[in-house]
A and B are shown apart, each in its own frame.
Chain A
């Protein structure tokens, strides 16, 4: 079962148990434009050279553990990687047929959705979408249920198991605490030599993106990924090839994820509605967490991942 499907079943199960299907009041999906002053980043993959400076900058800014390999070691590109508890952003390399270069790179991190599925799926309200556009979370509230991990359409949140008693979600927070709050761009944007990352107001970035495409149509595929997807995201992507060639999911649609269950999520005590389904889910997940890690950690149990026996 796919993770998203699993969540749907989880939620539907909870909803059915409580309401018997009375949750049909879908919102007008995709109508929320985010906060008017919300910031974002336009990722122009035509400029990215795969130098991994953004990964190094993120590692230092967020005080992440020492990486397994140096940040100038390009052998990491041999395997596609995903974000996890040790790396809040990763750059992957893609073999692209139509591109004159043959190879393209794409940085990925939390996209800071306008209507974050992680936020709506969190039943203790650990998540906040800030006025500046960042999706942040409060680790003290997080109970480690990993709902957000399943809900996220971009497979972003990772989990830290450094303490078996206090598992904690880990994901990009747009450098909110140290930079965004003070009007500064995140560390990755600051360091990017190619200015593949453009920081600005989301509404301006959308214009910028379309303008780049209009001015140099030969350089770009005419789509701004994240303008509409899942109700819009703070981080946007433009590219010389179609999004699917850079492993961007084109099947997500423009409706916010689980917008149809949002209303009752907001009004019903979550404890009653989804816990029964959740408990079975947590158990199922706890036995399946190896899915979310690189192959080379899959032989370890969660308690061993910090290297302590």
Chain B
């Protein structure tokens, strides 16, 4: 199987959230759909139906924590964000970095030991935890990889599946 380093380098599935302007007064710019996984190599990009998720979730805070100014219930958040109001930054990528474990990210953490949100997941982790977590808990919506994003040909090769699935070896009988 070919081992493709350049492909590996792309793996931090740069989940580039398309627009979602980090604007105050966020009400102006709530997108109906967002392109996710724009530069992904193993999985295709998808159009996330934001409008539908707004309809089916109870509160914006289900995904956006305290940033939209709606009430948060998590006792850990309330300590600081009971009355903090809407934030400048609402988009996922506005806070969750695509490369949480790069040397630079780790150095930044080292230099800001007093920061409260030191253990903040990266963009890919934050989104998957949020999506898979809610889909699992509510028993609604896909929870498998390809349930949300179709795998690309490069992805099939990477996971040794589909066209690239291991062929049964001739002569290795007796199993």
Contact = CB atoms under 8 A, between A and B. Distances in A.
B148 to A, nearest CB: 10
Contacts of B159: 53, 56, 70-72
Interface stretch (A57-65, A164-172, A226-234, A275-283): A57-65
A66 B119 contact: no
Given A60-B1, A70-B165, A193-B128, A201 B11 contact: no
A195 B174 contact: no
B142 to A, nearest CB: 12
Interface string B114-129: 0000110110111011
Interface residues of B, number: 42
Interface string A61-96: 101001111111100000000000000000000000
Given A200-B106, A296-B175, A195 B158 contact: no
Given A49-B143, A61-B3, A72 B11 contact: no
Interface in A12-54: 47, 49, 51, 53
Interface stretch (B28-36, B45-53, B83-91, B97-105): B97-105
B132 A194 contact: yes
Interface stretch (A111-119, A183-191, A241-249): A183-191
Interface of A: 47, 49, 51, 53, 56-57, 59-61, 63, 66-73, 101, 183-185, 187, 189-195, 198-201, 204, 208, 211-212, 215-216, 296, 299, 307, 309
Interface of B: 1, 3-4, 8, 11-13, 76, 100-103, 106, 109-110, 118-119, 121-122, 124-126, 128-129, 132, 136, 143, 145-146, 158-162, 164-166, 169, 171-172, 174-175
